[in-house]
Structure 1
Amino acid sequence: MINSNIGWEISKNEFYSENAFSKIFDAVVHRTIINVMAIYKKHIRQIRHFIVCSMGILLLASSCSILPFGEVLFSNSESVSTQPTGTIFYDDFSSTTSGWDRSETDLGGADYMDGSYHILIDEKNTDYFSTLYRNYSDIGLQVDARRIDGPYDNNFGLICRYQDEKNFYAGMISSDGYFGIFKIENGEYKILGHDTMVFSELISAGDTGNRIKLDCYQDFLFLYVNDSLLDVQQDKTFGSGDVGLIAGSFEVSGVHIMFDNFYLTDITQTMNQEKQQ
């Protein structure tokens, strides 16, 4: 169903909100939704499409099906990462039935390929994500990720405390060395603690892979890259929710991100051990 009466406007905090100047659409079938949203990166305002797609769901005229990636663009030859303390779930994406979405739309897609998980973005200013359909309050997430193709001006990372398509936290980095802890609330993106994404030399820029870690513990969000702490922010908006992976484009489409070695950890156990030490 399409509703063309919903619009977005710039609110006082310079993010877009509902009921204003430009027509957009909501296309919802079960839990699939497309929305136009806004985000800041490097002092540039971007209007973004926001997509989540699950197996077997129709999205507009496109079907959510196994994504035809064509020829293998990347061979996963990396060894399995060391298991983090308190691991409660591990996925090396060798099985296509481990619970992640396998989908294709006009704007992008997500699927397993060659023992890893891939997200492609075929439209500019678009985020695509996949969740595991689980619920956690305090949880740690870790994944190895790298750019396979497309612009270096991208974003990718981890989701925690996902409520629905318009409400969740995300810890993301970019292939050109920027990071941010995001709160998406009622469809509005906000970078917690900063006006824009922040550059860090700790991030391996270019095509080199990065290990991303997001710990959601009580009211605190910890973002790590390559085992180094990038940022800590405090926020009380979401207390629990689903977990997932996210990738997106800005002014140039064609973003292709590969994920491997996904972990969920009992962060309460980890924090208690650190307190004892």
Structure 2
Amino acid sequence: MLFQTLKYSSLIIYILFLSTSISISQVNTVVINEQFNDNSNYWDVHDEPQSMLNMLNGKYYMEGKMLGRAITSTISTPVTENDNFKISVELTKLNGIDDNGFGLIWGGKDENNEYEFVISGNGQFKVIEWRNGIKKDLIAWTFFSDIQKWDNAKNRLRIEKRGETIKFYINDNYVAVVHSAENMGNRIGFVINETMEVEFNYLIYEKIEKQSTAVQQTDQVNITDVNFTGSSEQPELKYGESTVLKIKLENNADFQVTDLALMISSSDIGHAIEYNPITMIEMIPAHDQAIISVSFAADEEVETMNHNFSIMLMDGKNNTLDSKKVSLKTIGRSNYYTENNNSNSNSYKNNSKSDDYKYKKSNNNSSDGCTKGCAYATLGALLVGLILAIIP
């Protein structure tokens, strides 16, 4: 099944909150436990010019063969509109482009009416609503450092619907929450975009029976401390290295608080620093504290400059509970060598993560990397140069 898809745009930080209820007891009933040992659930299997879908050795394989196309495969489930549920999947991107999504479908009627929770090979996630073939981003592309990146990387995705909210998890990390959108149908399954190959190891659908109590909102949660690990008054981050921002939160209320979000933003975004712009906090007990760690990594192309970051703590009604500011100075390669009076770049060992990032970036055909045609053009230019060199 095919439908037109678009390349994702630049990172937009966007999250939806809703005052909701929390479970005080729950029992999960496994409705579907798909281990792909047989095709009793009637998954699509085919080999066509646009795509290949296959089930082999306890895995379900999906391969897209065309740019600008998405491939979906879904099965029906005994889902009702008001069901609370949990959907879990383990998936591995085997090869292909890194700048588009692959992942879960739920609440679907057909390929033009469904919801998608996808990740990309370069470490971002997104939540999408398709309605009558029109796409709406519920959560736009957002970087998350715990996504395993590039080819042969295995990740786990999970969706949990309780009451009026749907929560999203990546590798057991709570990453986002949105309003509970009305199911358009009872189909769940998988989606991949464009030219990539992905294997799915399992798909588990559980129905959640629960009792609940209303969440109490409070403004008694504060950011009490913000600092970079081991930093001085002016923390510094050198190219190819990483540091950790520690954010201490304190709940002074007489009850636990849930579904908080720390949002970190900067006007300097795009200057070769990776960090999680959104960190979800599921719960802080009454009169207790939480310490949130956010990793900041500078790649090889970082510039020497000062970066100012704004940190906002948001509650379940999208209210700002507290805010702080923090600064970080990055030191680029050229400045570091100048300051150390050493111009020999080979004497410094580069961070392997940054090397991998540059390698993937330069070899990604959908970005500015060189394709096969470019390689032939380079070879042609070299031959012309040699001919000119031997002409007297």
TM-score exceeds 0.5: yes
Whether the aligned pair in 2 keeps the contact of 1:37 and 1:187 (CA below 8 Å) is no
1:42 partnered with 2:10: yes
Unaligned runs of 5+ in 2: 13-26, 215-255, 257-392
Q: Which amino acid aligns with 1:36?
A: Q
Which residue in 2 is equivalent to 1:187? 133
Which residue in 2 is equivalent to 1:94? 37
Report Cα offsets for 1:47-76 as digits up to 9, x if no partner: xxxxxxxxxxxxxxxxxxxxxxxxxxxxxx
1:258 partnered with 2:203: no
Shift of 1:158: 0.9
Percent identity between matched residues is 21
User: Relative to 1, partners in 2 of residues 1:229 and 1:118: Cα closer, same or farther, differing over 3 Å?
Assistant: same
Shift of 1:217: 4.1
User: Relative to 1, partners in 2 of residues 1:98 and 1:183: Cα closer, same or farther, differing over 3 Å?
Assistant: same
Whether the aligned pair in 2 keeps the contact of 1:135 and 1:240 (CA below 8 Å) is no
- Structure with the greater alpha carbon radius of gyration: 2
Q: What is the rounded CA distance, in whole Å, between the counterparts of 2:203 and 2:3 in structure 1?
A: 27
Shift of 1:221: 2.5
Whether the aligned pair in 2 keeps the contact of 1:183 and 1:192 (CA below 8 Å) is yes
Q: What is the rounded CA distance, in whole Å, between the counterparts of 1:166 and 1:159 in structure 2?
A: 11
Q: What is the rounded CA distance, in whole Å, between the counterparts of 1:152 and 1:274 in structure 2?
A: 42
Q: What is the rounded CA distance, in whole Å, between the counterparts of 1:228 and 1:36 in structure 2?
A: 31
Runs of 4+ more than 6 Å apart: none
More RCO (CA 8 Å, sep 6+): 1
1:222 partnered with 2:171: no
Which residue in 2 is equivalent to 1:51? none
Q: Which amino acid aligns with 2:4?
A: V
User: Relative to 1, partners in 2 of residues 1:95 and 1:231: Cα closer, same or farther, differing over 3 Å?
Assistant: same
Report Cα offsets for 1:253-277 as digits up to 9, x if no partner: 2x000001210011x32x54899x9
Which residue in 1 is equivalent to 2:147? 203
1:233 partnered with 2:178: yes
Whether the aligned pair in 1 keeps the contact of 2:108 and 2:184 (CA below 8 Å) is no
Match of 2:109 among 133, 152, 163: 163
SS in 1 for 2:71: strand
Q: What is the rounded CA distance, in whole Å, between the counterparts of 2:134 and 2:163 in structure 1?
A: 22
Q: Which amino acid aligns with 2:131?
A: E
Q: TM-score by structure 1 length? A: 0.63
User: Relative to 1, partners in 2 of residues 1:35 and 1:151: Cα closer, same or farther, differing over 3 Å?
Assistant: closer
Whether the aligned pair in 2 keeps the contact of 1:141 and 1:215 (CA below 8 Å) is yes
User: Relative to 1, partners in 2 of residues 1:88 and 1:274: Cα closer, same or farther, differing over 3 Å?
Assistant: farther
Shift of 1:86: 3.3
Q: What is the rounded CA distance, in whole Å, between the counterparts of 1:167 and 1:274 in structure 2?
A: 33
Q: Which amino acid aligns with 1:261?
A: Y
Shift of 1:232: 0.7
Report Cα offsets for 1:216-242 as digits up to 9, x if no partner: 444432221111111111153436521
Higher-helix-fraction structure:
2
User: Relative to 1, partners in 2 of residues 1:248 and 1:35: Cα closer, same or farther, differing over 3 Å?
Assistant: closer
User: Relative to 1, partners in 2 of residues 1:240 and 1:164: Cα closer, same or farther, differing over 3 Å?
Assistant: closer
Q: Which amino acid aligns with 1:103?
A: H
Aligned runs of 1:136-151 on 2, under 5 Å? Answer: 136=79, 137=81, 138=83, 139-151=85-97
SS in 2 for 1:192: strand
Q: TM-score by structure 2 length? A: 0.46
Whether the aligned pair in 2 keeps the contact of 1:141 and 1:263 (CA below 8 Å) is yes
Q: What is the rounded CA distance, in whole Å, between the counterparts of 1:212 and 1:92 in structure 2?
A: 15
User: Relative to 1, partners in 2 of residues 1:233 and 1:200: Cα closer, same or farther, differing over 3 Å?
Assistant: same
Whether the aligned pair in 1 keeps the contact of 2:53 and 2:62 (CA below 8 Å) is yes
Match of 1:131 among 71, 74, 84: 74
Unaligned runs of 5+ in 1: 1-31, 45-83
RMSD: 2.7
